[in-house]
Amino acid sequence: MPSIQSLTLTYDALNEQGTFSEGDTISGKVTLALLKQITVDSFFIKATGDANVHWTTKSGDKTHSHSAHKRYFKLKQFLFPEASKDTVLPQGIHVYKFSLKIPQGSVPSSFKGPHGKIVYNLEAKLSRSWRMDQSVEQKILFVSRCYPNLHSLMLPQIGATKKEMGLFSKGQADIEVTIDRMAYAPGETITVLAKINNSSSSEMTPKFRLGKKVIYRANGSTKREECTIIKVVENRIQAHTELEVRCRMKIPLDQTTTIQNCDILSVEYHLKAYLDISFAFNPEVLFPLVVVPLGFAPVPQPGVAAGPYPAGAVGGPSNSDFPPPAVSRHPYPVSPSSGRSGNPGAPMYSAPPPPVYPGNPMVFPCPPSVYPAQPAHVSGGYNNQVPEIPFPYGTPFSSSVIHPPPSAPTFQTPPAAPAIHLPPSLPVIHPPPSLAEFNLPPSYSPFNVSPTAPSYNLGPSAPMMNTDFLGQSDEAPPAYTLLFPSTTTDKSVAK
């Protein structure tokens, strides 16, 4: 006759969906029903969060296995004191309460795929000597709330591209696509607006596709899985036609959230709008989407700035060659005051103007900046953004500072500042024309020169000004006969 009648585990739900997130506390109770007295070695409950991936590849006759594991947390609570062994439990029903707090940090949401999974388990285990362990396990639905800059994900996305026709057609096709935001929850509807200008001689069909991509990683190898969730095909557009196409796509409720915070597994969503043209490459606009938990996405606030660059064509995993559009779609927008480098306070460069189509000018708002905008009194560009502080001793290029008169109190020249007032051993900056001209002694010092000294108004008839008196060597001057040969010598040479 068995001693244990039942071992059950229940936990308290925190919301209607029964999900848990970072920082939540898992509380509940473990119920043990005994038909007779037993002796217990240990009795505990634990919560774990693990990610695992595994797949195989074949190369010839060999099969290679790829696997990886990542543990996010392990919480354990003993229902009996850990030190006490051989604890005797009498017959009857025993109820034990527990409480486990999930740590803070970036933890991915629950996921299950054909080649990997992210699971969170709650397990109670009872151990006895010379007996099989009794355990009960329940899975926990974990939903990550690690979405930085969530409000920026609620901004509109705009992307545009064009296609120049080639061999079988002439002209070009332009398409501009707008979606209301970047973050959606399962069950919400994506509203797509496409403005198409078919100025070519070919017919084309606008199509919209909501796709999902799962990437598994293990030891440097990757495995990708892509699938189409929704595909919408609109009516054909005739040649030389311009019109707007609206499309609504509802995200199914069974879709998992976006996972970007797991090293070995990631889940991505994207929306592709393209023109199906016969015998030509299809122009497309690709938008990355973020699927967040139900009730987690905030309502977009009217009047919030949207950013100088569109989100559809810049920064996304797209192979399209469309030009940069006009509203930022990146989940981490760059401050308008940060320039191209993204650093606050860097010189601000002019953003390219948004595309303007004939008869339909559009103005796009800017997304909230990660960095605070520059104050009104600070200008961008290459202008000096810091007010200049006047030099305490005047401008360094003024001759009155280099050679200040002793009786100039307005300059307040400190006597111990030789770096500003050059010593008398450096007259090459302002060399005097001649010591004999001013009748100055050899110990001439620039500090003894009056501000009105004529040495600063050098006349053109002073060719000796380029002579460096202090730099002369001790060599003897050239012989006079070398410079001015005598007439006698000239006559002898002539003879």
The three-class DSSP label of residue 232 is strand
| Structural contact between residues 76 and 44, judged by C-beta atoms closer than 8 angstroms | yes
Question: Over the stretch 280-289, which tens digit does the pLDDT of each residue have?
Answer: 888 999 999 9
- Give me the torsion for CA of 315, 320, 321, 323, rounded to 10°: -50
* Domain boundaries 4-142, CATH class: mainly beta
- Residue 231: per-residue pLDDT: 95
Residue 77 clears pLDDT 70, i.e. is over it: yes
Phi, psi of 143 (to 5 degrees): -125, 120
For residue 338, is pLDDT > 50? no
- CA–CA dist 177, 272 (Å, integer): 10
Instruction: Give the pLDDT score at 50.
Output: 97
pLDDT at 28 > cutoff 80: yes
- Residue 95 is predicted with a pLDDT of 95
Q: Does residue 317 have a pLDDT over 70? A: no
Q: Give 100 or 325, the one with higher predicted confidence.
A: 100
CATH 2.60.40.640 domain range(s) in the chain: 4-142, 151-297+306-328
Task: Say if residue 213's pLDDT is above 60.
Answer: yes
Q: What is the mean pLDDT of residues 201-214?
A: 94
The CA distances from residue 307 to 28, 83, 173, 336, 353, in Å, are 47, 61, 26, 8, 11
The residue written with tokens 């002073």 in the block is 462
| C-alpha radius of gyration, the chain, whole number | 41
Render pLDDT for 216-249 as a digit per residue (tens, 0 to 9).
999 999 999 999 999 999 999 999 999 999 999 9
Work out the number of other CB atoms within 10 angstroms of the CB of residue 327: 25
Instruction: Give the model's pLDDT for residue 130.
Output: 86
Do 328 and 289 meet the contact criterion of CB atoms below 8 Å apart?
A: no
Q: Is the pLDDT of residue 291 over 70?
A: yes
Q: Would you say residue 70 has pLDDT above 90? A: yes
At 393, is the pLDDT very low, low, confident or very high (cuts 50, 70, 90)? Answer: very low
Average pLDDT of the residues of the chain: 73
CATH class assigned to 151-297+306-328? mainly beta
Q: Binning pLDDT at 50, 70 and 90, where does residue 197 land?
A: very high
* pLDDT at res. 343: 40
Strand order in the sheet with 265-277: 183-184, 284-291, 265-277, 204-218, 221-233
CB 339 within 8 A of CB 349: yes
- Determine the pLDDT at residue 267: 97
- Which residues are within 8 A (CB) of 166 and not within 5 positions of it... i.e. 6 or more apart? 280
Per-residue pLDDT tens over the stretch 436-462: 444 444 444 444 444 544 544 444 444
Query: In terms of Cα–Cα distance, which of 448, 111, 209, 162 is closest to 325?
Result: 162
| pLDDT for the residue numbered 484 | 55
